Amino acid sequence: MPVAERMYARALFEAARDGGRLEVVQQELSEFVEAVRQVPELRALLRDPQLDPRAKISALKEILAGADEFVRNFILLLTERGRATELEETRLEFDRLVAAETGRLSLELATAVELSDEEAYRIVEQIEKSSGRTVDATRRVDPDLLGGIVLQVGSLRLDASLRGRLERLRRELRNGGTQGSPVGPLLNTSLRSGDSRAAPGQSPAPRTETKRSSQHSKTEEKP
């Protein structure tokens, strides 16, 4: 994560902590980020570089009129400085700081299909057992993952999705590396089996057959 995003997240965290409003700020910031994901018009408002900055700020002030003061000022500040597109990453870092402060672990579960409550509970339960901390989990559906799951804890991303595995395989193939990949043994087998074949334009090497009789052994070469 870029240094600037960490700095903005820490500034908001310290202001909310000192003001005794960590929980409120975290909840409202999370709700706004989710709204950006779900509402195309709001997403366009934040990310459209052609939109007049003054009109953008004016529209956001109306949208955030009832929001917590820290949240409203923070979003307006990011927008004024051209960093509105970094809002989601900054929120993840903010969540990580809150988790470290409170001893809780905030994470996001992203899956290709909607998890049932029971499935999500089992995943969270395993994470709590492994980490020894209470987990606050949010869920998100991302069909582009194809399958598997992605865990996001602050700036730490654990990708166990099918898309992630395919991308890693593509990088490995582009880099020419086959060690540790199922492609390696297949290529090696093909190369070994091809060693005995004649190159194009060459005659195959003579084969040697051994015929045995009761009295002696005789070797014949066939062209």
Domain chopping of the chain, boundaries? 1-102, 103-178
Is residue 8 a contact partner of residue 90, using CB atoms and an 8 Å limit? yes
pTM for the full model? 0.54
pLDDT at 146: 80
Determine which of 111-125, 169-183, 207-221 has the lowest per-residue pLDDT on average.
207-221
CATH architecture for residues 1-102: Orthogonal Bundle (1.10)
Predicted confidence (pLDDT) per residue in 134-174, tens digit: 887 888 888 888 887 888 776 677 777 777 777 777 777 77
Assign 215 a pLDDT band (cuts: 50, 70, 90).
very low
Q: Report the C-alpha gap between 134 and 121 in whole angstroms.
A: 12
Q: Can you tell me the mean pLDDT for 58-69?
A: 93
For residues 156 and 74, the model is more confident at 74
Predicted confidence (pLDDT) per residue in 164-205, tens digit: 777 777 777 777 654 444 434 433 443 344 444 444 444 444
Exposure string of 98-109, with b = 16+ CB inside 10 Å and e = fewer, is bbeebeebbbbb
Q: Report the C-alpha gap between 115 and 82 in whole angstroms.
A: 35
